[in-house]
Structure formats: structure tokens, C-alpha cells
Structure 1
């Protein structure tokens, strides 16, 4: 589905188009580039894009396949950049991962979005508000898109950090409801987020190193700063993964301690219950002579022995912290 399409020249949006076919003639003008946004297009729409911009057949086939990792690939004069987007859904404590596949050349940018977590509209608005950057051409669009995607990683990281702090506090609280399942879920989300973010270093390094010769020097310099921001985010994600592993180990230790404590208490009560059970069992036997069996106060004496024995054991267990 076509979401947005426009032609840009000399730092300004000169034309908004409603169909892909209308883009064809505009791209041939000097210092002009087209930026097209698509949402989960079908094969027919992709074929139309291929025909307009002369995309390589293999690039189109690869783009129709789902679940790419972040990468930068070249197909003749066309480049394919794959970027993972992310949004943190706090009520469910999950990271919603989307994907943007960007076909681009010196005169066009075709951004194809999969999933709901997409910053493309914000990236376009940001670039259109900065004519000095927009006049740098298609390379500026690529930079702005990457910048917006990476900026959107920060709220995701903040949400994960907040939930990790919560489970860490819960593990060491007096609450017996250990958050083992929550820790596993957070760990899964952090690892999924890490798989989507970490490989993005490679494509940015390739652009900064001059792999695409028509990218302006000013754009490459901005990408150097962007690479630093991404490195800090990746480092924080790695720290979160390590912290969650530590929290999980601490949680399992706390569970074992609690189970041992429960077993001590159960053993203590079983030991105290064994005394009256043993004495009662003996006096229930049909022996001819049992001490106090025929005594006037025998029953009271036996009950007293039971009670005193249990009280003695209870006091010892209490001092030892078993009850």
C-alpha cells in the first residue's frame, strides 16, 4: 500500500504524488530525488516499483522474504538497507519489532515498512523541516531515517531498564511470589531487541567508510555521530542482558533458600508431631503392664509428658529459626 510519495529538489518538497507512476518523470530532473513510503506491499506493487526504478530482480525477491537481519546490500546501482524498528509495549512488557527495507539510489528512496513500529512519518517530517539537510539529497533521507530509528530505541531501552529494576527489587524483597516467569520474559525481549539492534553497526560502518561513493561528506560526518549513539545503546543492551542473567541466578538462589526454609519448618513440625504419635501408639497397645496405664492420674501424666516434650522441641526449633 502506498502511504506517502513526494519529489524533493533543492531542499524543498516540490510535489506530492498519489500514484507510483507519477514519480517516473520527476526523478529525471536535475538535483531531484523521490521518497516513497510503502506499507506491506504485495508483489504487484513491488513489481511496479521495480519497473519505475529499475530494481534488480534478486533485490525484489529478497525484499519480499520476511525477517531479514539489519544489512546493507548492493544490487548494481541500487542499494538495499534493512533496519529493525522497535517500540516498547509497557502493559505487556514486550518489545514490538518491525522492519523497514529501504531501496535507494542517487535519485530515489523507497522505504518499505513491515509491522506497526515505524518512525517513517516522523523521519520525513524531520527532514522536510530542515532544508539545509534536505538539499543533500537521497543520502540525507537515509541518514534521517536511521537517526529516527535509533532515537526510537532509547524509549525501548528505558522501558526495559525500568522493568529490570522492578524485578531486581522484587527478587530481594520479602514477597514470596518470585518473578521467575517475568525474568524469563524480559530476558527474551532483551535478547530479541539485541538481535535487532546490534547488526545495524555493520551497515552504518559501510556507509561511513565510503562504500557508497555518492553519499555527501556532510552526511557521512553525521553518520559518524550516529554510530556513536548506536554503540552506546548496544552497550546498554548488553549490560541489561548481563544484569538479567545475574537477577535470574539470584532469583533461583532465593527460591532454593525459601524451599530449604520450608523444608526445615515442615521437618520441625513433623518431629513435634512424632512425640505424641509415638506415646499414643505405645499406650494403644494391648500390653499387660504399661507405666501409668492403670494409675488414677496416668492419663493426665501422659498428656503432660506429650505437651512438655512438644514444648521443649518447639523452643529449641524456635531458637534455631526453624519455626
Structure 2
């Protein structure tokens, strides 16, 4: 589905177009580039984009395949940049991962979005509000897309950090409801987020190193700063993964301690119950002579022995912390 399409020249939007075909002629004007936004297009729309901009058949075929890693690939004069977008759904404690596949050349940018976690209207609005940056052409659009994606990683990281702090406090609280399942879920979300973010270093390094010769120097300099921001985010994600591993180990230790404590208490009560059970069993046997069996106060004496034995064991277990 076509979401937005426009032509830009000399730092300004000069034309908004409603169809892909209408943008063909505008791209041939000097110092002009087109920025097209698509959302989950079908194969027919992809083929139309391919015909308009002369995209390589292999590039289109690769882009139609799902579940890409962040990457930067060249197909003749066209580049394909794949980035992962992310938003944090706090009530479910889930990282919603989307994807943007960006076909671009010196005169066009085609951003194809997949997933609800990939809105890019803010990126276009940001670039259009800065004519000095927009004047740098298609390279500026690539920078702005990357900047918006990386900026949106920060709230995800903050949401994960808050939930990790909560489970860490819960593990060491007096509450017996251990958050093992929650820890595993958070760990899965952190690792999924890490897989989507960490590989993005490679494409940015390639652009900064001059792999695309028409990218302006000023854009490359801005990407250097962006690379630093991404490195800090990746470092924090790695720290979160390590912290969750530590929290999980602490939680399992707490569970084992609680299980051992429960076993001690069960064993103590079984031991206390064993004495009256044994005495009762002996006096229930069909023997001719059993002490106190025919005594006037035999029953009371036996009950007293049972009670005193249990009281003695209870006091010993109490001092040992078993009950």
C-alpha cells in the first residue's frame, strides 16, 4: 500500500504524488530525488516499483522474503538497506519488532515497512523541517530514517530496564511467588531485541567508510555520531542480557533454598508423627504382655509419652529452624 510519496529539490518538497507511476518523470530533474513510503505491499506493487526505478530482479526477490537481518546490499546502482524497528508493549512486556527495507539510489528512496512497529511519518516530517539537511539529497533521507529507528530503540530499552528492575526486586523479596516465567520471557525479548539491533552496526560502518561514493561527507559525519549512539544502545542491551542471566541464577537459587526449607519442615513433621505412630502400632499388636497395657493409668501414661516425645522433638526442631 502506498502511504506517502513526494519529490524533493533544493531542500523542499516540490510535489506530492498519489501514484507510483506519477513519480517517474520527476526523478529525472536535476538535484531532485523521490521518497516513497510503502506499507506491506503485494508483489504487483513491488513489480511496479521495480519497473519505475529499474531495480534488480534479485533485489526485489530478496526483499519479498521475510525475516531479514539488518544488512546493506548492492545490486548494480541500487542499494538495499534492511533495518529492524522496535516498540515496547509494556502491559504484555513484549518487544514488537518491525522491519523496513529501503531501496535507494542517488535519485530515489523507497522505504517498504513491515509490521506495526515501523511508523516512519516522524522521519519524513523531521527531514522536511530541516531544509539544510534535506538539501543533501537521498543520503539525508537514509540518515534520517536510521536516526529515527535508533531513537525509537531508547524507549524500548527503558521499558526493558524498568521490568528487569522489577523482577530483580521480586526475586529478593519475601514473596514466595518466584517470577521464573517472567524472567524467561524478558530474557527472550531482550535476546530478540539484541538480534534485531546489533547487526545494524555493519551497514552504518559500510556507509561511513565510503562504500557508497555519492553519500555527502556531511551525511557521513552525522552517521558517525549515530554509530556512537547505536554502540551505547547495544552495550546497554548486552548489560541487560547479563543482568537477566544473573537474576535468573539468583531466582533458581532462591527456589532451591525454599524447596530445601520446605523439605526440612516436612521431614520434621514426619519425624514428630513417627513416634506416636510407632507407639500406637506397638500397642495395637496382639501380644500377651505389653507394658502398661493392663495398668489402670496405662492409656494416660502412653498418651503422655507420645505427647512428651513430640514436644521434645518439636523444641529441638524449633531451635534448629526446621519448624
CA distance in 1, matches of 2:302, 2:58: 93
Deviation at 1:198, TM superposition (A): 0.2
Distance, in Å, in 1 between the alignment partners of 2:2 and 2:281 is 86
Q: In 2, are the aligned partners of 1:119 and 1:148 still within 8 Å (CA)?
A: no
Q: CA deviation at 1:119?
A: 3.4
Alignment partners' CA distance in 2, 1:33 and 1:89: 36
User: Helix, strand or coil for the counterpart of 1:236?
Assistant: helix
Measured in 2, the distance between the counterparts of 1:214 and 1:46 equals 25
- 1:293 is paired with a residue whose SS is coil
Output the CA distance in 1 between the equivalents of 2:213 and 2:127: 22
Instruction: Give distance in 2, aligned partners of 1:302 and 1:263.
Output: 30
Report which stretch shifted further, 296-305 or 141-150.
296-305
Q: Is the 8 A contact 1:87 1:97 kept in 2?
A: yes
What's the CA shift for 1:315? Answer: 0.5
Distance apart, 1:285 and its partner CA: 1.1
For residues 265-290 of structure 1, what are the alpha-carbon distances to aligned partners after superposition, in whole Å with 9 as ceiling and x for unaligned?
Answer: 00000000001001111111111111
Q: Secondary structure at the match of 1:260?
A: helix
Question: CA separation in 2, counterparts of 1:275 and 1:47?
Answer: 85
How far apart are 1:215 and its partner, in Å? 0.4
TM-score, with normalisation over the residues of structure 2?
0.99
Q: Runs of 5+ in structure 1 lacking a partner?
A: none
Separation (CA, whole Å) in 2 of partners of 1:49 and 1:284 = 93
Q: Residues of 1 paired with 2:130 and 2:321: CA distance?
A: 69
Distance in 2, Cα, partners of 1:300 & 1:48: 99
Cα shift readout 1:83-136 (whole Å, capped 9, x = no counterpart): 000000001111000000000000000000000101311100100111110010
Query: How far apart, in 2, do the equivalents of 1:52 and 1:280 lie?
Result: 95
Q: SS where residue 111 of structure 1 aligns?
A: strand
Q: State the SS of the aligned residue for 1:83.
A: strand
Q: Please state whether the residue corresponding to 1:27 is helix, strand or coil.
A: helix
Structure 2 spans left out of the alignment, 5+ residues: none
Report if the CA contact (8 A) 1:12-1:134 is conserved: yes
- Tell whether the 8 Å contact from 1:119 to 1:149 is kept in structure 2 after alignment: no
The Cα of 1:300 is off from its aligned counterpart by: 0.7
**CA RMSD of the aligned region, Å?**
0.6
Cα distance per residue 1:126-151 (max 9 Å; x no partner): 00111110010000000000000000
TM-score, normalised by the number of residues in structure 1: 0.99
Equivalent residues of 1:12, 1:128 under 8 A apart = yes
Size of the aligned set, in residue pairs, is 323
Q: Which runs of 4+ in 1 moved over 4 A?
A: none
Partner of 1:198: 198
SS in 1 for 2:52: helix
Deviation digits for residues 46-69 of structure 1 (CA, Å, limit 9, x no counterpart): 111011101001000000000100
Superposed CA deviations along residues 141-199 of structure 1, whole A, max 9, x for unmatched, are 00000000000000000000111111111111111111111111111100000000000
